[in-house]
Amino acid sequence: MIHKVITKNEFKKFVDGLIEENQTFGPKQVDKRADGSGIYQFKEVNSYDDMDLDYTVTYSSVKNFFLPFREELSSFDFSDKGWDQTVEYRVNPRVIIGVRPCDINALNILDKILIGGAYPSPYYMARRTNTFLVGMDHEPLDDCFCESLGHDTVHRGFNLFCTDIGDKYYLTISSSKAFGFLKNVKVADPVNGDSVKFHERRKYLRDSFKTKVEVAGLPSVLDIEFKSPVWKKWGDKCLNCGTCAMVCPTCYCYGIEETIDVNLKSSRKERVQYSCNLVDFAEVAGGHNFRPLKEDRLKYRFYHHYRGFAQNADDPICVGCNRCGRACLARINPKDVISDLQMED
């Protein structure tokens, strides 16, 4: 890991250079809520000024750049005798700018599951390796709780990370590609004053978290509260709409759809993002549903996130971005559900 500093003017040049050479995505305000607050998403951008880099947090995570909501795994052609299968996972190199620490940590968790598991996904790997990630710190929103889970800072999984130290960015460079790109602009070695500001900024951000979620001992709380009435209380509110899982940076469940084209000469196999909150997630052949109740479905989403599954070494997969809580129309959010459980005895 190498540290450098860059003035904000020079950084702008650097970003415009990246954008000129690559397909680039960055945060953009797409709408305003009824209360006036901005709604941001990662969108394709054409210049530095096209982005809203002082954004708070995007409504949806960057997950879908790596795990698209719908992705073709293979296509089949049987117009002649026999059949041909085509598998294609080539992606063009691309750049994403302004990704938050919790989101990069989320990608590191997905790496463990989708690359480190028994069956690494070539589709995910192709997207991950061909994406140049520029991370950026930010002042937490009132409801962000990534600090409670230790995901407010990030040490790997990006190419370049920018910490705002006033008129300059303190750069953490963690790939040779990033080092190479930076050769085209003016960067300097940090002087003592820069490093002091860097540590002050880190401390300031860490102290800015207003929402704390007590996660120590949470796995055993969850085991003990498996039959708690708390699940029904929140389950009764749940719309089973899957919104929480769609916007979440780590939910990775999917279904497989096979479609035969209407000409009967070709077909496709697609991976489609799914959610354990959806009514038929645990429905099996013959129609039996292992989780017929809203509260059960909601409960399992919390179990996966805070207690962990064997698939991800029993580690929690939540990074504390509170996207689920913000997007849930029923106001179901990790902080309130967890504190309800902890109040049970």
Partner 1 sequence: MKYLGIDPQKVRVGVFDFTGCEGCELQLANKEDSLLDFLSLLEVVNFREVSSDRGDDYDVALIEGNISRADEIDRLKDIRAKAKVLVAIGSCACFGGVNQQKNRFELDDVVKEVYGDHKVETDKVKRIADVVKVDLEIPGCPVSKEEVERIVVNVVLGAEIKIPKYPVCVECKQKVNTCVVDLGQICLGPVTRAGCDAVCPSGKVGCLGCRGPAEDANFESLKQILMDKGHSDSAIVERLRFYGAFNGTVG
Residue 40 forms beta bridges with which residues? 29
Query: To the nearest 10°, the Cα dihedral for 306, 309, 313, 316?
Result: -10
239 binds ligand SF4 (CB under 6 A): yes
Q: Is position 24 an interface residue for ligand SF4 (rule: CB under 6 A)?
A: no
Question: Rounded distance, CA 22 to CA 43, Å?
Answer: 14
Our finding on whether 60 is near ligand SF4 (CB under 6 A) is: no
Contacting residue, 110, 133, 215, 248, with ligand SF4 by CB under 6 A:
248
Nearest to 276 by CA among 251, 247, 297: 297
Looking only at residues 96 through 125 of this chain, which bind partner 1 when binding is defined by CB under 8 A? none
Q: Is there binding between residue 277 and ligand SF4 (CB under 6 A)?
A: yes
Count, in order, helices (H) and strands (E) of the chain.
12, 11
- Among partner 1, ligand SF4, none, the one that 291 touches (CB under a kind-dependent 5 to 8 A) is none
Nearer of residues 19 and 248 to ligand SF4, judged by Cβ: 248
Which one among 67, 148, 320, 341 touches ligand SF4, defined by CB under 6 A?
A: 320
Q: Which of 269, 267, 262, 261 minimizes the C-alpha distance to 83?
A: 267
Tokens at 81, concatenated:
């005798």
Our CB check for ligand SF4 shows the closer of 26 and 320 to be 320
Beta carbon of residue 242, minimum distance to partner 1 (angstroms, whole number):
5
Query: Does 57 participate in binding ligand SF4 (rule CB under 6 A)?
Result: no
Using CA atoms, how far apart are residues 115 and 123, in angstroms rounded to an integer?
Answer: 10
| Binding partner at 279 among ligand SF4, partner 1, none, C-beta below 5 to 8 Å by kind | partner 1
Interface map 319-338 toward partner 1 (x if CB under 8 A): --------x-xx--------
Q: Cα(129)–Cα(66) distance, rounded to whole angstroms?
A: 10
Q: Does 250 bind ligand SF4 (CB under 6 A)?
A: yes
* Partner whose footprint covers residue 236, from partner 1, ligand SF4, none (CB < 5 to 8 Å by kind): partner 1
83 touches partner 1 by CB under 8 A: yes
Task: State how far the Cα of 256 lies from the Cα of 269, in Å rounded to an integer.
Answer: 7
179/303 with CB nearer ligand SF4: 303
Residue with tokens 């951000």: 205
- Name the binder of 335 from ligand SF4, partner 1, none, CB < 5-8 A by kind: none
Is residue 31 a contact point for partner 1 (CB under 8 A)? yes
Where do runs of H (alpha helix) occur along the chain?
8-21, 63-66, 101-114, 122-129, 176-182, 192-207, 218-224, 230-235, 243-247, 294-306, 323-327, 334-343
* Interface with partner 1, residue 236, by CB under 8 A: yes
